[in-house]
Amino acid sequence: MTATSHHPDEQLLLLLADRALGEIDEQDAAFLEDLLSVPTGRREAEAMEAAAAAAQLAMLGTAEVTVPARVRARLDAAASEWLRTTEAGGDSLDRAMQNVQAHSGVAQPIPLPVGAGATPRAGRNGIAAWSGWLAAAACLVLALIAWTQSGTPRTSEPTMAERFSAMVEKPGVVRVGWSAGPDDPLADAEALDGEVVWDPQSQRGYMRIAGLRANDAAREQYQLWVFDATRDDAHPVDGGVFDVRPDEKGEAIVAFTPRVPVREATLFAVTVEQPGGVVVSKRERLPILAQVAGK
C-alpha cells in the first residue's frame, strides 16, 4: 500500500497493520522505520507487539507455554496503562481495522473496543493514544490469528442441545427415561418425556425434560438428587438446583455435576425446593424421577 497521502499518525497505524499482515513493501518498510524513530511511534509499535503476544497466548488455550520475562513485563505494563486510560484513536483506528478486514477476508466488521473511535477526542498524544492503539491492536490480532489458523470463521460455542447429543454418543453412558412422581402442579404427566444421560467416567450428566413447567425462581427451584448404590438412600448425592425454561418444543436441557463422586447411580430424582435448594430434602414434592434399569 502507499501511505504518503495520510497524516503521519494515521500512516503509522496503517503501516503497522500492513506489517502485521506481511503486506508491507520495502519502500513502506523503510518509511515505517523512520516513523518508529519517534518515541511515540516506538511505543505504538511495542503496543502492537504486546497485543499480538497477548492474543497468541489467548488462542493457545490450555497449551503449556513459557512466557519470557521481557514479554510478560510488557504485557503487565500495557494492561496497567489500559486500565488507567480510556481515550482511543478515532478515524485512523477505523481505517486500520478496515485494512485488516480487507486482507483477512473477514465478512463482518471487526468490532472496536469500547471507547475506541466512538467519540471525538482532543488529540492523539502520550499514553492515552498508546493505550487506545493497544486495545485496537488486540482486536486486530485476535481476528487475524483466528482466521489465519483456521481459514474459516470461528464457530460459536456448542448449544446445550449439541452438548447433550454429543454425550448421548459417548460409550459407557447411562441413559434413563423419566417417570412421573406423585401429583405436582408443576408437572404434566401426559406430556412427560425426556431422559437423563449420565457419564460415570467424567461425573457429568444432562437432563432433557419435557412436561415440567417453568418455575418461579423467586419462590421455588428444582433440585436433582442422585441415589448411589454405595451410599445410604437417606442421603442421596446433591446434583444441584436448576430452573426450567422450556423452549419452543416444550423441552429444557440442563447440565449437572454432582457435589461428590457417584460410584453407582441407581436413581435420579427431581424435587421442588426453596430457592437455593436444601441440604436434606423432605421429598414432599417429587414431580419426576428416573430409575436405572436393574437397580
pLDDT in tens, 18-55: 666 566 776 666 666 655 655 555 555 655 555 555 55
2 inside domain: no
Which residue has better confidence, 164 or 34? Answer: 164
Per the structure, the complete domain to which residue 31 belongs is given by: 8-150
The DSSP bridge partners found for residue 62 are none
- Contacts (Cβ under 8 Å, ≥6 apart) of 101: 109, 110, 143
Based on the fold, state whether residues 172 and 141 are members of the same structural domain.
no
Rg, Å, the chain Cα set: 28
Report residue 232 as a C-alpha cell. 445410604
Predicted confidence band at 157 (pLDDT cuts at 50, 70, 90)? Answer: confident
Average pLDDT of the segment spanning 105-128: 42
pLDDT in tens, 188-215: 888 999 999 999 999 999 999 999 999 9
Tell whether 116 and 164 lie within a shared domain.
Answer: no
Number of domains within the chain: 2
135 and 224 fall within a common domain: no
* Boundary (domain end) residue, out of 91, 125, 150: 150
Examine the pLDDT at 178 and tell me if it is beyond 60: yes
**Dihedral angle of Cα 92, 95, 101, 103, to the nearest 10 degrees:** -100
Comparing 283 with 63, the larger pLDDT belongs to 283
Over residues 159-185, mean pLDDT: 92
**Do 144 and 89 share a structural domain?**
yes
Per-residue pLDDT band for 100 (boundaries 50, 70, 90) equals very low
Number of other residues whose CB lies within 10 A of the CB of residue 28 = 19
76 and 126 belong to one structural domain: yes
pLDDT of residue 184: 86
* 28 vs 56: CA distance, rounded Å: 26
Query: Alpha-carbon distance 218 to 274, whole Å?
Result: 9
Question: Which of 116, 131, 150 represents a domain boundary (last residue)?
Answer: 150
Q: Which of 112, 132, 150 is the last residue of a domain?
A: 150
pLDDT tens digits for range 75-88: 555 555 544 543 44
Residue 146 and residue 269 in one domain: no
Q: CA nearest 47: which of 27, 19, 77, 5?
A: 77
CATH of the domain at 225: 2.60.40
